[in-house]
Structure 1
Amino acid sequence: MVVLAVSSLKGGVGKTTVTLGLASAALARGVPTLVVDLDPQADATTGLDVAARRDATVADVLANPRRGEIARAVAPSGWAGDQPGVLDVMLGSEASVDHDHTSRPRAMRALATALGKLAGYDLVLVDCPPSLGGLTRTGLVASDRALVVSEPAIFSVAAADRALRAVDALRRSDAPQLQPLGIVVNRFRERSPEHRYRLEELTTLFGPLVLRPTLPDRSAVQQSQGATTPVHRWTGHGGPELAAAFDSHLDRVLRAGASRRQARRPD
Structure 2
Amino acid sequence: MLVLGVCSLKGGVGKTSVTLGLASAAAARGVRTLVIDLDPQGDTTMALGADSTDRLDVAAVLDDPRSSVVDRSIAPSAWAPDGLDVMLGSARSAAHDGPGSDEDLDRLAFALSFVGDYELVLIDCPPSLGGLTKAGLMACDRAVIVTEPGLFAVMAVGRAMRTIDELRRGPARELQPLGIIVNRVRGRSVEQTYRLDELKTLYGPLVLSPAIPERAALQQAQGAARGLHSWPGASAAELADMFDQLLDRVLRAPRTN
Same fold (TM over 0.5): yes
Distance in 2 separating the partners of 1:55 and 1:225: 23
Which residue identity lines up with residue 17 of structure 1 in the other structure?
S
> Superposed, which structure 2 residues align to 1:4-153 within 5 Å?
4-80=4-80, 82-83=81-82, 86-153=83-150
2:183 aligned with 1:192? no
How many residues are aligned here?
A: 257
More relative contact order, 1 or 2 (CA 8 Å, 6+ apart): 2
> Does structure 2 retain, via aligned residues, the 8 Å contact 1:7–1:148?
yes
> Does structure 1 retain, via aligned residues, the 8 Å contact 2:67–2:114?
yes
Which residue identity lines up with residue 108 of structure 1 in the other structure?
L
> Does structure 2 retain, via aligned residues, the 8 Å contact 1:54–1:75?
no
2:177 aligned with 1:180? yes
- Structure 1, unmatched stretches of 5+, are none
Which residue identity lines up with residue 26 of structure 2 in the other structure?
A
- Please report how far the alpha carbon of residue 260 of structure 1 lies from its aligned counterpart in structure 2 after TM superposition: 3.8
Distance in 2 separating the partners of 1:103 and 1:194: 39
SS at the partner of 1:215? Answer: coil
- Runs of 4+ with >3 A deviation: none
Which residue identity lines up with residue 172 of structure 2 in the other structure?
A
2:244 aligned with 1:247? yes
Note the aligned Cα RMSD (angstroms).
1.1
Distance in 2 separating the partners of 1:56 and 1:233: 29
- After superposition, the C-alpha distances for 1:20-61 in whole angstroms (9 at most, x for unaligned) are 000000000000000000000000000101124133100000
SS at the partner of 2:149? Answer: coil
Distance in 1 separating the partners of 2:41 and 2:176: 26
SS at the partner of 2:55? Answer: coil
Distance in 1 separating the partners of 2:76 and 2:114: 18
SS at the partner of 1:181? Answer: strand
Which residue identity lines up with residue 233 of structure 1 in the other structure?
S
SS at the partner of 2:114? Answer: coil
> Does structure 2 retain, via aligned residues, the 8 Å contact 1:157–1:198?
yes
- Please report how far the alpha carbon of residue 183 of structure 1 lies from its aligned counterpart in structure 2 after TM superposition: 0.5
> Does structure 1 retain, via aligned residues, the 8 Å contact 2:186–2:192?
yes
Which residue identity lines up with residue 127 of structure 1 in the other structure?
D
Under a length normalisation based on structure 1, what TM-score does the superposition of the two structures give? 0.94
Equivalent in the alignment of 1:2: 2
> Does structure 2 retain, via aligned residues, the 8 Å contact 1:54–1:74?
no
Name the % identity.
Answer: 57
- Structure 2, unmatched stretches of 5+, are none
- Please report how far the alpha carbon of residue 97 of structure 1 lies from its aligned counterpart in structure 2 after TM superposition: 0.4
